[in-house]
């Protein structure tokens, strides 16, 4: 298998970061129970930022966005850009 064939077969994935948080309340058990909440990554003018609750307008106006809590298949160019932006811990290849 040649290098070009291998490149064409490689799939790239990005799973945005998460934040563990517990339910609201004062009960001591709430401090132990945590749920992973997805953080959305938004790209505007080549700059990536993170938001917990993106608005529909914010997403429509962005260059690209990756909704939190999901695994996104991305291009090799997006893979490189996200790596350069510091998201390498959240990237995978198959």
H/E run at residue 12: strand 12-14
pLDDT digits (tens, 9 = 90+) for 6-42: 556 899 999 999 998 877 777 777 777 788 999 999 9
Summarised one tens digit per residue, pLDDT across range 51-79 is: 999 999 999 999 999 999 999 999 999 99
Domain range summary for the chain, segments of one domain joined by +: 3-93
Kindly provide the residue ranges of all beta strands, DSSP E only, lying in 24-63, ordered along the sequence: 35-38, 40-44, 47-51
Q: What is the pTM of this model?
A: 0.83
Buried-state track 16-47, b at ≥16 Cβ within 10 A, e below 16: beeeeeeeeeeeeeeeeeeeeebbbbbbeeee
């Amino acid at each position: 298998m040649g290098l070009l064939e291998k490149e064409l077969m490689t799939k790239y994935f990005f799973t945005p970061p998460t934040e563990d948080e517990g339910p609201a309340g004062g009960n001591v058990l709430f401090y132990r129970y945590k749920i992973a909440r997805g953080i959305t990554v938004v790209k505007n003018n080549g700059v990536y930022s993170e938001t917990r609750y993106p608005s529909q307008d914010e997403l429509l106006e962005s260059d690209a966005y990756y909704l939190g809590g999901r695994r996104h298949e991305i291009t090799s160019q997006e893979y490189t850009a996200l790596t350069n932006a510091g998201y390498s811990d959240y990237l995978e290849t198959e």
